[in-house]
Amino acid sequence: MTGLEKELPSLLIAGNDLLATGAIRALKEYGLRIPEDVSIIGFDNMPLAAVMDPPLTTIDINSNGIYPFAIESLLDKIQNAAAGNCRRDVRGHLVERGSVKTIGSLL
């Protein structure tokens, strides 16, 4: 225990798995335990996530559906500068691994 536990949230959600990896490393350097002191969730489900210590809980998305849409939207914007903003809903699912105590304990 470092005293930081009182200042930290019980859960950190990173913008991607690489940031989550850095957060885990930094927290461990301060002597904190993942997930006992802080739970962490990443985003992307990179192959690295499964082999981390502890394995990273992450949100897996269908990137095959995002990238073609992003390229199409970018090309449309280049060809038509007046084109408005676009929105695309993408479904993902939680891949539960060892970096979170239990999902139910966070609610």
Give the confidence band of 106 by pLDDT, cuts at 50, 70, 90: low
Give the confidence band of 38 by pLDDT, cuts at 50, 70, 90: very high
* Helix locations, the chain, DSSP H: 17-29, 47-51, 63-79, 103-106
Cis status of the peptide bond prior to 54, with omega within 30 of 0: yes
| CA 39 vs CA 1, 20, 64, 98: distances in Å | 15, 10, 29, 9
User: pLDDT tens digits for 75-99?
Assistant: 888 888 776 777 777 788 999 999 9
> Which residues have C-beta within 8 Å of that of residue 59, sequence separation ≥ 6?
41, 42, 43, 44, 45, 92, 93, 94, 95
The pLDDT score that the predictor gives to residue 43 is 93
